[in-house]
Chains A and B, each alone.
Chain A
Amino acid sequence: MGVILEVKSLTKKYSGLTAVNDFSFEIQKGEFVGLIGPNGAGKTTIFNLISGFEKPNSGKIIFNGINITGMKPYKIVNLGVTRTFQLVRAFKFMTLLDNVKVSCLSKRGKKLAQDYGIDEYASTILASVGLVDKARIPPVILPHGDLRKLQIGKALGTNPQLLLLDEPFSGLSHEEAQGITDLIKKLHDDGVTVFMTGHVLRELMHLVHRVIAMHQGKFITEGPPREVANNKIVLEAYLGRGEKFA
């Protein structure tokens, strides 16, 4: 065990607007943590800051004892932190196999993949996310649920220690979401630390062991899902000050 990710008073400002405000939390090795908050709470900004796509105004991000604040995204990936995106990103004109192969060719992915052979390793990953029968087609003709699976496959190619999943269920039907849920559960059982966001809480609350709640860039509370779901401030953040409904 031990701390895998430590975020210390992180702050990010966009000309006047403070998207993330003095935000701190820790994640233990092997944990399964969710980050919740209403739309515009700053969840994606936090992911962008951790994965290096944006630089914080102040604060520190420490992964496995290494200060990764402001590092280039690819370097952070090669240390073992890989993210997926809220809006699906795929290499449009390349086959699914090549899509996964790219991450297997990253410095970190390569170390593991080389022993198996890059192509074989990439198809193993495709098989584990359930897309191996579509290995030779480009992602443009895939349904949305398969694209979400591909995203996770691409992330797995880099052999992550900490997986950041940004809204892995958005735009999915209940059945499709179930498939992704099973996939993420399996990954966590295999020893990957998972940190995911979501504003639709149904799937997320069943999955994670601990929830961090945020609103307007600020930390509200953390704890087991059930506790957080009944927290008054969290409810207010989602539903507004509820005197009318009370």
Chain B
Amino acid sequence: MKSRVKNLNAKIKEFPNYLKDWIKSFKGGLTVFCVIGLFLIPLITTSPYFLGIFMLSMIYAIFSASWDLLAGFVGKVSFGQAIFFGLSGYIVGSLLKFNNYIWWSALIIGITFSVLIGLIIGGITLRLKGPYLALGTMVIGIILQKVFALYQLKPILYGDQGISGIPPLSSSSVVTYYVILILMIISFIIMIKITKINLGTIFRSIRDDETGAEASGINTVKYKIIAFIISSCFAGLAGGLFVMYNRAINPLVFQPLYSFYALVMAALGGIATISGSALGAFIFVFLGEIVRDLADPLFIFSIILILIVRFASEGILRSALERLRDFWDILIGR
């Protein structure tokens, strides 16, 4: 115990140096540059439309990273990530509109509920592997979509129109923007940290060879459930933020399409990278906005998927980083 405290103290003392080294490194510098860029956006424009695009990108980034944590690191490919997103969204929405909760308390309740559901769905689908897990989670999503749209349940679940006119997080979209940005940064720090610590090593061992992990003395059931809990926690956060941004929610949020969005964004950036999801989300949302008048989002979604599978099965983050680094080296004359 004493040695642990000592270790922690040493770590805290080393932290500023560690941070300095990290910022000086290429990846760290680039990350800091991007984050500062995001902080400066509201100084350039306060138009709710532009800020809205950024907010949606950041919300999708959390959502897609939560999927990546489960699929890329534990190997559990779920097509039902929208379940957590939608359920948390519904709870936050109804608490804000009908019960006058403050945004953060509604968000905490939404996340808690989402984690509980993650625990249950993780438990139910534990034995399913590969395509069966994907199908199983997808079916749960479809069932929820139908149940929430039921006319008979309208007094409880608000029917197929869902909830609209939900009060926003703040009347100023700049404040909303900063809240979402900070929550996104915290989420990414936590998720990336999880993949780097021992827990992440165990997760990856389950992804690579579940039987082998069991033979190494790992309680795979326990860790798979932990993974589901973490993933549903962040998907729930994204869902809650989405409702405050969108100010409406309806049963369509449960459809597999939303789960596929998470998949496409993560695959675009690079599966099993976490930060790739952020890149993927921004590209996905901006591309969708640019060609919005020309084509259906579904069309873009399909094209992106085909292009990724054909040309960049590892995602674009890694190769983009390499290109950028080469370019940087040339610039500073190395």
Which A positions have Cβ atoms within 8 angstroms of B? 51, 53, 72-74, 77-78, 82-83, 85, 89-94, 98-99, 101-103, 105-109, 118, 154, 157-158
Which B positions have Cβ atoms within 8 angstroms of A? 198, 201-202, 204-205, 207-209, 211-220
Give every chain B residue within 8 A of A85 (Cβ-Cβ): 212, 215
- On whether A73 and B209 interact (CB within 8 A), knowing A98-B201, A98-B204, A102-B201, the answer reads no
In the bound complex, how far is the Cα of B205 from the Cα of A73, in angstroms? 16
Interface contacts beyond A82-B217, A89-B211, A90-B209: sample of 9 additional A-B pairs, CB < 8 Å, sorted by A: A72-B214, A74-B218, A78-B217, A92-B208, A93-B208, A102-B201, A102-B218, A103-B217, A158-B217
In the bound complex, how far is the Cα of B60 from the Cα of A58, in angstroms? 54
Instruction: Closest A residue to B216 by CB, please name it.
Output: A103
B212–A91 contact, CB under 8 A? yes
B211–A53 contact, CB under 8 A? yes
Instruction: Closest B residue to A76 by CB, please name it.
Output: B217
In the bound complex, how far is the Cα of B212 from the Cα of A89, in angstroms? 6
In the bound complex, how far is the Cα of B206 from the Cα of A74, in angstroms? 13
B201–A73 contact, CB under 8 A? no
What's the nearest-Cβ distance from chain A to residue B6, in Å?
Answer: 13
Give every chain B residue within 8 A of A72 (Cβ-Cβ): 214, 219
A101–B198 contact, CB under 8 A? yes
Instruction: Closest B residue to A98 by CB, please name it.
Output: B201
A105–B198 contact, CB under 8 A? yes
Instruction: Closest A residue to B204 by CB, please name it.
Output: A94
What's the nearest-Cβ distance from chain B to residue A164, in Å?
Answer: 10
Q: Which 6 A-B pairs have the closest CB atoms?
A: A106-B217, A77-B217, A91-B208, A103-B216, A89-B212, A102-B205
- On whether A73 and B215 interact (CB within 8 A), knowing A91-B205, A91-B208, A91-B209, the answer reads yes
What's the nearest-Cβ distance from chain B to residue A120, in Å?
Answer: 13
Give every chain A residue within 8 A of B209 (Cβ-Cβ): 89-92
Give every chain A residue within 8 A of B218 (Cβ-Cβ): 74, 102, 105-106
Instruction: Closest B residue to A88 by CB, please name it.
Output: B212
Give every chain A residue within 8 A of B198 (Cβ-Cβ): 101, 105, 118
B212–A74 contact, CB under 8 A? no
- On whether A101 and B201 interact (CB within 8 A), knowing A90-B212, A92-B208, the answer reads yes
A107–B208 contact, CB under 8 A? no
Q: List 7 A-B contacts (CB under 8 A).
A: A72-B214, A74-B218, A77-B216, A102-B216, A105-B202, A106-B217, A107-B219
Give every chain B residue within 8 A of A154 (Cβ-Cβ): 212, 216
In the bound complex, how far is the Cα of B209 from the Cα of A169, in angstroms? 22
Instruction: Closest A residue to B212 by CB, please name it.
Output: A89
Give every chain B residue within 8 A of A77 (Cβ-Cβ): 214-217
B217–A108 contact, CB under 8 A? yes
Query: Max chain B CB contacts within 10 Å: which of A74, A83, A89, A99?
Result: A74
In the bound complex, how far is the Cα of B213 from the Cα of A92, in angstroms? 12
What's the nearest-Cβ distance from chain B to residue A32, in Å?
Answer: 22
- On whether A83 and B217 interact (CB within 8 A), knowing A89-B209, A94-B205, A102-B201, the answer reads no
